[in-house]
């Protein structure tokens, strides 16, 4: 579904981003693995290359506008296009608002809202030249409903859905679609770390935290697998999804329908 396409994925050295990169590569795309962690970026690109895919590591901090823009332009020069951008890098911090460190708040907003703006700003001229583009912003059910303790994460995810709508309008006449993917609880290091913290605080095993905290919230009573997110991202990145733009697409095992 992505034969001949070039995809640039941020936060691609772990969790959802890593699986999206693999899913895109399996569908024929050349993938640029971008992450803050350069060692893990190189390892991920090497593993995909060893499987016979075209993969290239371009580590960068997405909060550094010039580094992020430079990376996108280097990928364009190397491959001749950047057809797909996945703004996926993310991190979490949980605390009630009155104790929420302000620098943490700013960092989370920068990584998950300002950086997708940087990415869009710098990839738009390339995509407009190509007359084709797909941007996927990794939002969350946190972009749709409130969660106590997640002031920064929740604000960033609500914001990135707004950015998605504006970008979709500005890209529409140029063959560019922009969508936000809103996963529920996905089994990744980010979620495992949160659950581990809860297990330690409550002095109970991890499995009981999943059963007691997650299952009552999710009608399907399970964590989503990264492959499910990747499959959806492949569709949104493909030619088949050309009519889908400006949407916040939800994949949450039923969380938000209750």
Q: Is residue 13 a contact residue for ligand NAD (CB under 6 A)?
A: yes
Binding ligand NAD by CB under 6 A: which of 26, 37, 228, 231? 37
Helix (H) or strand (E) holding 84: strand 84-87
* Interacting span for ligand NAD (CB under 6 A) from 8-16, 75-83, 170-178, 204-212: 8-16
Site string for ligand NAD, 190-209 (x = CB under 6 A): xx------------------
What is the distance in angstroms between the CA of the first residue and the CA of the last residue of the chain? Answer: 34
Site string for ligand NAD, 70-109 (x = CB under 6 A): ------------------xxxx------------------
Q: Give Cα separations from 98 to 77, 94, 151, 172, 203 (angstroms).
A: 47, 12, 10, 41, 25
- At closest approach, how far in Å is the CB of 65 from ligand NAD? 12
DSSP code, position 224: B
Torsion of CA 159, 162, 164, 170, to 10 degrees: -130
- At closest approach, how far in Å is the CB of 91 from ligand NAD? 5
Strand partners, 34: 10
| Nearest alpha carbon to residue 56 among 35, 36, 32 | 32
Binding region for ligand NAD (CB under 6 A): 10-11, 13-17, 35-37, 61-63, 88-91, 111-112, 138, 140, 183, 185-186, 188-191
């Amino acid at each position: 579904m992505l034969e001949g396409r070039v995809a640039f994925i941020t936060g691609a050295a772990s969790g959802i981003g890593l699986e999206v990169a693999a899913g895109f590569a399996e569908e024929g795309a050349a993938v640029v693995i971008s992450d803050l962690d350069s060692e893990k970026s190189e390892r991920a690109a090497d593993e995909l290359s060893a499987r016979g895919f075209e993969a290239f590591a371009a580590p960068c901090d997405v909060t550094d506008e010039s580094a992020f823009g430079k990376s996108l332009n280097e990928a364009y020069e190397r491959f001749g296009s950047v057809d797909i951008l996945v703004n996926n890098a993310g991190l979490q911090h949980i605390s009630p608002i009155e104790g929420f460190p302000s620098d943490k708040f700013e960092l989370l907003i920068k990584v998950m809202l300002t950086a997708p703006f940087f990415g869009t700003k710098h990839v738009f001229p390339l995509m407009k030249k190509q007359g084709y583009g797909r941007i996927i912003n990794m939002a969350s059910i946190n972009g749709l409903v409130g969660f106590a303790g997640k002031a920064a994460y929740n604000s960033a995810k609500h914001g990135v859905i707004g950015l998605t709508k504006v970008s979709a309008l500005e890209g529409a006449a140029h063959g560019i679609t922009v969508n936000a993917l809103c996963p529920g609880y996905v089994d990744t290091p980010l979620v495992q770390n949160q659950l581990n913290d809860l297990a330690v605080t409550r002095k109970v095993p991890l499995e009981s935290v999943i059963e007691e905290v997650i299952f009552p919230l999710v009608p399907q009573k399970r964590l989503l697998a990264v492959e499910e997110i990747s499959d959806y991202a492949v569709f949104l990145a493909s030619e088949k999804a050309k009519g889908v733009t400006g949407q916040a697409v939800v994949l949450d095992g039923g969380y938000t329908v209750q």
